[in-house]
Amino acid sequence: MTIDRGHGSPYDRGRADSYYGRPPRPHWYPNGTGNQPLITDLTPEQLDDYHRGFNDNTREGNFKDWGGDE
């Protein structure tokens, strides 16, 4: 099975939500991130991809450095 990791894909959006410290909110953009439509009614496979992206990023510990206290 191949996972679509393209810009705006469920996997990509899961990674981005984790990276920015947002809670999981499954969604994707078929026309690329930020380009309508925003899809929130995901198929079971798309939900799996979203959560895989979120969990992969969380496991890797790749989070946005917001600056602040050193």
Burial code (b: 16+ CB inside 10 Å, e: under 16) for 18-43 equals bbeeeeeebbbbeeeeeeeeebeebe
pLDDT for 69 equals: 74
Categorize the per-residue pLDDT at 4 as very low, low, confident or very high, splitting at 50, 70 and 90.
very high
- Give the largest Cα separation in the chain, rounded: 43
What is the extent of the structural domain holding 34? 10-60
Does residue 16 belong to any structural domain of this protein? yes
Would the pTM count as exceeding 0.75?
yes
Does residue 1 belong to any structural domain of this protein? no
Number of domains in the chain: 1
pLDDT at 13 over 80: yes
What is the spatial distance between Cα 68 and Cα 70, in angstroms, rounded to a whole number? 6
Does residue 32 belong to any structural domain of this protein? yes
pLDDT for 70 equals: 62
Does residue 50 belong to any structural domain of this protein? yes
pLDDT tens per residue, range 21-59: 999 999 999 999 999 999 999 999 999 999 999 999 999
Does residue 69 belong to any structural domain of this protein? no
Does residue 40 belong to any structural domain of this protein? yes
Does residue 24 belong to any structural domain of this protein? yes
Does residue 27 belong to any structural domain of this protein? yes
